[in-house]
Amino acid sequence: MADVALAIVAGGAFLRGVVVIGLGVRTFLHRKRFVRVKIGWVECVNALEPFLLAGWSYPFLSATSASTSAIAAWSGAALVLAGWGLILWTWLSWPSIFVGHAVLEDHRLMTGGAYGMVRHPIYLAAFAIWLGLALGFLSLSTLLVTLLYVIPIYHLYARSEEAMMLDAFGDEYREYSRRVPMWIPRPGRGVARAGSTPQ
């Protein structure tokens, strides 16, 4: 049964990398719809993450008989599935989501759904999937990549995005940041209600 869990872990991680790369291509092809785009060193270093995830998880696809415990395998699968659940909730919350830091012409601040739980749900999902891959296969190297590259670069990436959002939305974003945590949901507060609808 651990083999099933490990297939979920490796397949879910690989799929996330491929999907983000595909969304990046779609975003690039539709770049004319943006009125503001932010590309700095943080955005460039972060852009490597989905390629790294796809490449890193690919060998695990055929390693489903790896020597790992069933508990680790299923715990990793739970994290990967939770990450995908958060990704799907984020897409349902904001169907026109795109890759990168930009502002659309008719961009409205999204504050409901997954964005009412944490300010960066799609990045939090990336953490869950990387950690699920590390735990499922008991891979120290994957854990080190997660702790030394993925989490720090996404934190810097989120900070860069927030500076752009403050510039674009001012007090509206400041109030949203006050109500909704960046990474860790606040227990007992539920999901913040939407202040606006997605474009």
Q: Given this model, what pLDDT does residue 192 score? A: 53
Judged by average pLDDT, the poorest of 25-34, 46-55, 76-85, 176-185 is: 25-34
- Give the pLDDT confidence of 93-107 residue by residue, as tens digits: 998 889 999 988 888
Predicted local confidence at residue 195, as pLDDT? 45
Ordered by where they begin, the domains of the chain are 2-179 (1.20.120.1630)
Is 13 strand, coil or helix? helix
CA angle 154, 58, 23 (to 5 degrees): 50
Round to whole Å and give the CA distance between 96 and 112.
Answer: 14
Separation of alpha carbons 124 and 180, rounded Å: 14
pLDDT band at 198 (very low <50, low <70, confident <90, very high): very low
pLDDT score of 104? 85
The predicted-structure confidence for 111-132, as pLDDT tens digits, reads as follows 999 999 999 999 999 999 999 9
